A = this chain, B = another copy of it.
Amino acid sequence: MSKLIVWTYDWVPEGPRGFVRDIRLRWACEEAGLDYAVHTVPFDERGPDHLAHQPFAQVPFLSDGEVELFESGAGLLHLARKSEKLMPRDPAGEAQTLQWTIAALNSIEMVSVPWWFLEVTGAQENNLAGWLESRLDHMERIFTEREWLVADRFTVADLLMADVLRVAKLRAFGNRPAAEAYVARITDRPAFRKARADQLAHFAAGDKKRAAKA
């Protein structure tokens, strides 16, 4: 029996497939060679049972034996402490992995996700565009200077930053070749490709179960 369990929905609509955040935890487990299983909660019914595990009625959450935690970023930092493949073990490497993981969540995604929300909800104006451009410009400078965010190696911070940036649809904001090359390189890793294929297969299987039930 796997000790690590990644919890996600049993099904989601086409749109978010390949982007549901369980992909972050699958990807990290694949990178680190950690044994894990994927379990599901119903997409359609998110009552008190779901809220007891994830208080904002979202996924993923992660079980690790007696410990359970929600927030994909928290799950990544939890997994990072299990494997040197995800985070160096020296104090400076740990601190830098932590800072860039939080930067992806609170300096980039804090702007890119609401920007995207305004786009898809058809806001008349998107006042977050300038702010997002400025953040992406700062990242472009970083990626021009270095190949990885931390030291000279892949960490969970690259995993998260690449996932955040691929969702932010860089191309909507002009030519940022260093950032585009970074995202292309990180998402070409076998562990990401497997995690993405597994998520797509998981939700395709959900289609069949849903059709059988209907």
Q: Does A181 contact B (CB under 8 A)?
A: no
Q: How close is A30's CB to chain B, nearest CB, in angstroms?
A: 21
A69 touches B110 (CB 8 A): no
Q: Does A73 contact B (CB under 8 A)?
A: yes
B123 touches A99 (CB 8 A): no
Residue of B70, B107, B131 near A71 (CB, 8 A) is: B107
Q: Does A105 contact B (CB under 8 A)?
A: yes
- Measured between beta carbons, the chain B residues less than 8 angstroms from A102 are 71, 73-74, 77, 105
A69-91 interface mask toward B, CB cutoff 8 Å, 1 = contact, 0 = none? 11101100110000000000001
B69 touches A138 (CB 8 A): no
B110 touches A118 (CB 8 A): no
Known pairs A105-B110, A111-B114, A124-B125. 10 more at Cβ < 8 A? Answer: A56-B138, A57-B138, A66-B91, A68-B95, A69-B96, A70-B99, A70-B103, A71-B99, A74-B99, A110-B113
A105 touches B106 (CB 8 A): yes
Q: How would you classify the secondary structure of chain A's contact residues: helix, strand, loop or mixed?
A: helix
Q: A127-B117, A131-B117 are in contact. Are A103 and B68 (CB under 8 A)?
A: no
Instruction: Name the CB-closest residue of B to A105.
Output: B106
Instruction: Name the CB-closest residue of B to A122.
Output: B127
- Measured between beta carbons, the chain B residues less than 8 angstroms from A135 are 56
Bound complex: CA A56 to CA B118 (Å): 23
- Measured between beta carbons, the chain B residues less than 8 angstroms from A95 are 64, 67-69, 74, 78
Q: How close is A200's CB to chain B, nearest CB, in angstroms?
A: 24
Instruction: Name the CB-closest residue of B to A65.
Output: B91
Q: Does A128 contact B (CB under 8 A)?
A: yes
Bound complex: CA A64 to CA B119 (Å): 41
A73 touches B106 (CB 8 A): yes
- Measured between beta carbons, the chain B residues less than 8 angstroms from A105 are 73, 102, 105-106, 110
B123 touches A125 (CB 8 A): yes
Bound complex: CA A208 to CA B2 (Å): 62
A91 touches B106 (CB 8 A): no
A117 touches B128 (CB 8 A): yes
